[in-house]
Amino acid sequence: MYPLASFAAGLVFGLGLIVSGMADPSKVLGFLDLAGKWDPSLAFVMIGAIGVSVVAFRLAGKRAAPVLGGPFHLPTATQFDRRLVLGSLVFGVGWGLAGFCPAPAIVVYGAGYFKAVVFVAAMVAGMGIYEIAERLRG
Amino acid sequence: MDWEHFTPWASLAGGVAIGIAASMLVLLNGRIAGASGIIGGLLRPVRGDIAWRVMFIAGLFVAPTFYQLVKQAPVPTIDATHAVVALAGLLVGVGTRYGSGCTSGHGVCGLARLSPRSLVATLAFMIAGFATVFVVRHLIR
């Protein structure tokens, strides 16, 4: 059940990305182009997504364990460090260059678009570089 | 304002679906629906921590196929060249791992958890995204 629920969540997430327009890089860039013909649609995606999940996270906070068992795996870090800010800035530059962030890139890959395959391959390579750098650091 | 492409209702509905998906994953599995963390975790495999990640990614991957069963899927427009797409992917991969999250993990789940760290991260990647598009579309061209 545990992996099946995860599959269902991924599927609904992906459908949401398609319906919302997030799975279209030109739509994402239209949102990021404040100085051009700005398309504020993606702000509505955030409103919808956060509006629903804020309730779920409150419910989760009241439960001892998830419905399917096992502990909750929620982030515990609280400090603002350079990694958080610099990493997010680097991510934002990449996001603004192509209009892809990780989840929509997987969806567009699944739809069979070659540029999304290129993006995902490079993204996984980037994540691999991070892993290697972390291991070298000790 | 780009009224021609403005889709408040579809975007809100899609956002609600994303929120439902994030709710399912935290309430059923106790996990954060953060795409970069889910993918990145596979590069540091831990026994018993692999299947749910692969299945979430598989769900994302087959979403267009399921969508297509009901309705013609919209065609994405990817204007960036292959080289720029590759560079963007590399930056997104490195950046999301150092920053511990992406649009889904920080932007949706983190903000919904009222995490100050996620607010900082979201502001950082939004500002960088706005600035990058400004440079690419209005300064370089």
**pLDDT tens across A51-94, in order?**
999 999 999 999 999 999 889 999 999 889 999 999 999 999 99
Hey, are the CB atoms on A126 and B87 less than 8 Å from each other?
no
Q: How confident is the model at residue A6 (pLDDT cuts 50, 70, 90)?
A: very high
Residue in chain B nearest A44 by alpha carbon? B12
Residue in chain B nearest A97 by alpha carbon? B88
Q: Per-residue pLDDT for A126 more than 80?
A: yes
Q: How confident is the model at residue B7 (pLDDT cuts 50, 70, 90)?
A: very high
Q: Which residues of A touch B80 (CB under 8 A)?
A: 25, 97-99, 115
Q: Per-residue pLDDT for B59 more than 90?
A: yes
Total number of residues shown for chain A: 138
Instruction: Note the pLDDT of residue A70.
Output: 87
CA dist., res. A123 & res. B60, Å (int): 16
Q: How confident is the model at residue A110 (pLDDT cuts 50, 70, 90)?
A: very high
Instruction: Note the pLDDT of residue B140.
Output: 86
Percent of chain B with pLDDT over 90: 94
Residue in chain A nearest B100 by alpha carbon? A84
CA distances from A59 to A56, B33, B113, B132 (A): 5, 16, 11, 38
Mutate which of B3, B29, B81 to disrupt the A interface (most A C-beta within 10 Å)?
A: B29
Q: What is the DSSP string of B30-66?
A: -----HHHHHHGGGS--TTSSHHHHHHHHHHHHHHHH
CB of B73 within 8 Å of a chain A CB? The answer is: yes
CB of B141 within 8 Å of a chain A CB? The answer is: no
| Inter-residue contact A10 to B59 (CB < 8 Å) | yes
Q: Per-residue pLDDT for B114 more than 90?
A: yes
CB of B83 within 8 Å of a chain A CB? The answer is: no
Q: Per-residue pLDDT for A97 more than 80?
A: yes
Contacts of B32 (CB under 8 A, 6+ apart): A73, A74, A75, B22, B25, B26, B105, B109
> Which tens digit of pLDDT belongs to each residue from B79-100?
999 999 999 999 999 999 999 9
Q: Per-residue pLDDT for B141 more than 80?
A: no
Which is nearest to A16 in space by CA: B140, B24, B31, B17?
A: B17
User: How many domains is chain A built from?
Assistant: 1
Instruction: Note the pLDDT of residue B1.
Output: 83
| Inter-residue contact A60 to A66 (CB < 8 Å) | yes
Domain of residue A28: give its range. 2-137
Residue in chain A nearest B94 by alpha carbon? A126
Q: Which residues of A touch B14 (CB under 8 A)?
A: 15-22, 45, 48
The pTM assigned to this predicted structure is 0.97
CB of B50 within 8 Å of a chain A CB? The answer is: no
Hey, are the CB atoms on A16 and B115 less than 8 Å from each other?
no
Mean pLDDT of A44-56: 98
CB of B60 within 8 Å of a chain A CB? The answer is: yes
Minimal Cα–Cα distance from B139 to chain A, Å? Answer: 11
Interface pTM, i.e. ipTM: 0.97
| Identity of residue A93 | V
> Which tens digit of pLDDT belongs to each residue from B9-48?
999 999 999 999 999 999 999 999 999 999 999 999 999 9
CB of B27 within 8 Å of a chain A CB? The answer is: yes
Q: How confident is the model at residue A138 (pLDDT cuts 50, 70, 90)?
A: confident
Instruction: Note the pLDDT of residue B106.
Output: 98
